[in-house]
Amino acid sequence: MKHELVIASNNRHKIEEMNSLLGSSFLLKSLAEIGCYEELPETQASIAGNSLQKAQYVYDHYGVACFADDSGLEVEALQGEPGVHSAYYAGPQRSADDNIRLLLEKLNRQSNRKAQFKTIITLVEPEGVQSFEGIVPGTILTEKRGTGGFGYDPVFLPDGETKTFAEMIMEEKNRISHRARALQKLADYLQSTYGS
């Protein structure tokens, strides 16, 4: 029997990525497949808080085991900014170009350009709550490089790499990304707990 699980997303790419990690003993459903069409709440002050809030909302309202992720860029010299506000750092328009411009302005005279991308995945199920973290450390460049990816990818150079996230093809980025690392931890947990 397949173990049913809901991902707090309708993003087909995310669902395919997770399905490939989980294998055939799991049946992964999107929010639309359980009839959840409302905007999930994200009102917490941390990445971990938002991740838990979204998964808990689905579990409480739809009675199904659910996992949700939240991600952000944390810059050391800016005391962890933009963090939980990564998507709308420069305002509610959620413009990646505006966000990058503001970030580079704030780092203009900084020699410390260390940063990390962080993803927290939270799984809420009848047995309790589990949390999984994925981190990619790197450096913020002084100008954009590459046209792929999204968000801050053009200015983020992962440690040990010669290409920014925006210069990598999707397979390269997925192999080392913060989300892939957190997803792998979740997949390992599910396989060891429920896998056949």
Ranges of each domain in the chain: 3-194
Q: What is the pLDDT of residue 112?
A: 98
70 among known catalytic residues: yes
Q: Which two tokens stand for residue 39?
A: 């905007």
134 neighbors 185 (Cβ within 8 angstroms): yes
pLDDT (0 to 100) of residue 20:
77
Geometric angle at alpha carbon 103, from 90 and 51, rounded to 5°: 65
Q: Which two tokens stand for residue 130?
A: 């589990």
Query: How would you label 180-190 residue by residue, b for 16+ Cβ within 10 Å and e otherwise?
Result: bbbbebbbeeb
Can you read off the two tokens belonging to residue 26?
A: 């799991």
Q: Which residues of the chain have pLDDT under 50?
A: none
The C-alpha atoms of residue 113 and residue 126 are separated, in whole angstroms, by 42
| pTM, 2 dp | 0.90
Could you tell me where the beta strands, DSSP code E, fall in 45-162?
66-75, 114-125, 128-140, 156-158
Which candidate, 87, 83, 67, places its Cα nearest to that of 75?
Answer: 83
Write out pLDDT tens, residues 100-132.
Answer: 999 999 999 999 999 999 999 999 999 999 999
Catalytic residue among 60, 69, 70, 97: 70
Q: Where are the alpha helices (DSSP H) in the chain?
A: 12-22, 47-62, 96-106, 170-176, 178-194
Q: What is the pLDDT of residue 12?
A: 82
**Per CATH, is 3-194 categorized as 3.90.950.10?**
yes
On whether the CB atoms of residues 62 and 3 are closer than 8 A, the answer is no
Task: Quote the pLDDT of residue 1.
Answer: 66
Q: What pLDDT, on a 0 to 100 scale, did the predictor assign at position 61?
A: 97
pLDDT digits (tens, 9 = 90+) for 4-19: 899 999 888 778 877 8
